[in-house]
Amino acid sequence: MKYYSLNKKAPKTSFEQAVVKGLAPDKGLYFPEEIQPLDKSFFDNIEQISREEIAFQAIQQFVSPEIPKKVLRQIIKETIDFDFPIVSLNNEISTLELFHGPTMAFKDVGARFMARCLGYFNQNNKEEITVLVATSGDTGGAVAHGFLGVKGIKVVILYPKGKVSNVQEKQLTTLGQNITALEVDGVFDDCQDMVKRAFLDQDLTSKMQLTSANSINVARWLPQMFYFFFTYQQLKSKYKQLVFSVPSGNFGNICAGMIAKKLGLPIEHFIAANNENNVITKFLKTKEYVPEPTIATLSNAMDVSNPSNFVRIQEIYDQDFEVLKKDLTSYFYTDKATEKALIEIKEKYNYIADPHGAIGYLACKDYLKENENVHCVFLETAHPTKFLPTVERVLNETVALPDQIKELMNKKKVAIEISNYGGLKNFLLSK
């Protein structure tokens, strides 16, 4: 597969180069040159196909020929060796639990897949690669875990000081080895801007090979389509029309779902569920894309004001606003509404959601008010104990910590404080 830059001012490149470079030289995100829908028979028989085979069929065209089939099968096997359960709340709403991986957030899938692709490309230690990643909470931990100890790769994580949960912070600051955390005096968008700026800084790029492990990187982004297929496989016989409500921040997850649809997966509609950082909700109303300063919310991982993947979504829908609107609805919710939803989900369904999932739930409810005969699946994008103080305060009860999080809380945070791009640059040049 060839990839082109969405800024259209850089040469097309291979999957390998798109992964190793992260961002195109013209600062554009890479996008696959063509998307070949899967055979109808694949969808007809999907219930009989293993999860590994589904993932293989879905992603093969995007990674070939650089990743041989045998290697790809192994990468997939190691990437998705945990559960993706669906819990039914009622006849109209289910939740897809994406927190059964090692860092208890959906990011584990993309981070593990990308780490293995990069490890494969760099198996002879051609050149040390520095992976830069900006996080509003969960990407950092998943990438740290996914890349820990991978030879020839250093990971530098930028996160906004005081704006991630305790558990998230521990996950990204306690591993050591080839992982370094930089605590940035700013918001997530500042971290993301610094990462993008570093890719274009010749003082850096002439001395080191930099890449990104955010959803900017196609190897982090595309595998996020797997679980849309797994959901269809499990619910196909029960419900005719599936709608996905995706708690969204940088919009990589929902955008991967849209690629799944392009491959032929029968998804009736997407809902982007947002907190008050609602640039896309407003865009769908006004056709104007106007990022505003970030607001800190209880669903901190979605505190993104200028989502990177907006341009990919535009490309999937050929820059056609009306066509996009047929497939995408967006709602946003305040912290107050999020708290009420957490309580409602617990009281009505005896289910403990996290603040991001709670927003997904609210969006399902609103969509169902106007649309009949559909089943809405909201993505539970992280485990509720990653946001323990909020969840316990709102539900007024103690929630047991999983063992892996208990262990983590005793570890010591190690992070380097920086306040601007100069801080990042100095750090990278000093290594």
Ligand X SMILES: N[C@@H](CCOP(=O)(O)O)C(=O)O
Q: Is 3 in the site for ligand PLP (CB under 6 A)?
A: no
Amino acid at 322: E
Selection from ligand X, ligand PLP, none that 214 binds (CB < 5 to 8 A by kind) is ligand X
CA 156 centroid distance within chain: 18
Nearer to ligand PLP, 117 or 254 (CB): 254
Strand 93-97, strand 86-88: pairing: antiparallel
Q: Is 79 in the site for ligand PLP (CB under 6 A)?
A: no
Helix axes 138-147, 166-173, angle to 10 degrees: 30
Q: Is 248 in the site for ligand PLP (CB under 6 A)?
A: yes
Taking CA atoms, 361 is separated from 16, 196, 326, 355, 399, in Å, by 38, 33, 21, 10, 20
Q: Is 301 in the site for ligand PLP (CB under 6 A)?
A: yes
Catalytic hit among 2, 27, 40, 107: 107
Amino acid at 406: K
Nearest distance in Å: CB 189, ligand X: 10
Nearest distance in Å: CB 302, ligand X: 6
| Site track for ligand PLP across 351-390, x = CB under 6 A | -----x------------------------xx--------
Nearest distance in Å: CB 371, ligand X: 27
Nearer to ligand X, 46 or 195 (CB): 195
Interface with ligand X (CB under 6 A): 135-140, 214-215, 249-250, 252, 301, 308
Question: Cβ distance 392 to 339 under 8 Å?
Answer: no
Segment interacting with ligand PLP, rule: CB under 6 A, options 178-186, 251-259, 364-372, 408-416: 251-259
Selection from ligand X, ligand PLP, none that 135 binds (CB < 5 to 8 A by kind) is ligand X
d(CA 65, CA 322): 36
Buried b (16+ CB within 10 A) or exposed e, 321-356: eeebeeebbbbbbebebbbebbeebbeebebbbbbb
Residues 137-156 that bind ligand PLP (CB under 6 A): 137-139
d(CA 222, CA 253): 9
Question: Cβ distance 24 to 5 under 8 Å?
Answer: yes
For residue 422, give the DSSP letter: H
431 is catalytic: no
Nearer to ligand X, 71 or 295 (CB): 295
| Number of amino acids touching ligand PLP (CB under 6 A) | 17
Nearer to ligand PLP, 142 or 198 (CB): 142
Q: Is 252 in the site for ligand PLP (CB under 6 A)?
A: yes
Q: Which tokens sit at 18?
A: 């798109």
CA angle 61, 63, 64 (to 5 degrees): 70
Residues 98-127 that bind ligand PLP (CB under 6 A): 105
For residue 156, give the DSSP letter: E
d(CA 392, CA 406): 16
Nearer to ligand PLP, 43 or 251 (CB): 251
d(CA 71, CA 38): 21
Question: Cβ distance 267 to 261 under 8 Å?
Answer: yes
Known catalytic residues are 107
In the complex, which residues of this chain contact ligand PLP (CB under 6 A)? 105, 137-139, 215, 247-253, 301-302, 356, 381-382
